Amino acid sequence: MKSPIFVAIDTPDLERAKAIAGQVRKHVGGLKLGLEFFAANGRHGVREMAELGLPIFLDLKFHDIPNTVGKAIQALRPLEPAILTVHAAGGRAMMEDAKAAAPQGTKVVGVTVLTSLDQGDLASIGVSGDPHGQVERLTTLAREGGLDGVVCSGGEVAAARALWPDGFFVVPGVRPSNSHAGDQKRVMTPRAALDAGASILVVGRPITQAKDPDEAARAIEATL
């Protein structure tokens, strides 16, 4: 079975990104390219990374009026990413337009609550209740909006899957038991996240900042 690990290549340096991806390509299921990479390298950079032959998860977290999001995703159609993200908080109409604009075969997933946020952070932006309740609300909305699944922390993925048994669940903030949490506040080990219902796991620094990224990827894969 192909690895459920997508490695987060969060660097603006295209050569470094290609070097990391080249090292780990046999032990990961895909590459996640985010805003940092895309702002520096654009569509050309995404194409270069795709030449390594791994699925591309383009994590740009669109959040704007429905028409703007639809047109932005349409502009990315030639890249044919395996996965694209939008913010579920953008609302149902925005999610519907995002899915309609995406290439056939691209999974469009809704970001629920960023793993860097906790209850206090949510309260500061006017969201009452805890992250768990907000993830459940936005998971239901994403399903109604025709998306393929959601992004949520390992702590909420079981509840999200209960609401959406055939959904596609992306779990970031995944950290092996021996690694540092960094700026993530809601983290889980890869094995626990898979057991809870994750479809794919996003792992960044534990692999990309390891002395030997390939060995780190293999060690995580071995726990699965």
The CA–CA distances, whole Å, from 29 to 36, 38, 89 equal: 21, 20, 28
Tell me the C-alpha distance between 141 and 50, whole Å.
31
Q: Which residues are catalytic?
A: 61
Tell me the C-alpha distance between 184 and 203, whole Å.
12
Tell me the C-alpha distance between 97 and 132, whole Å.
26
Tell me the C-alpha distance between 82 and 65, whole Å.
23
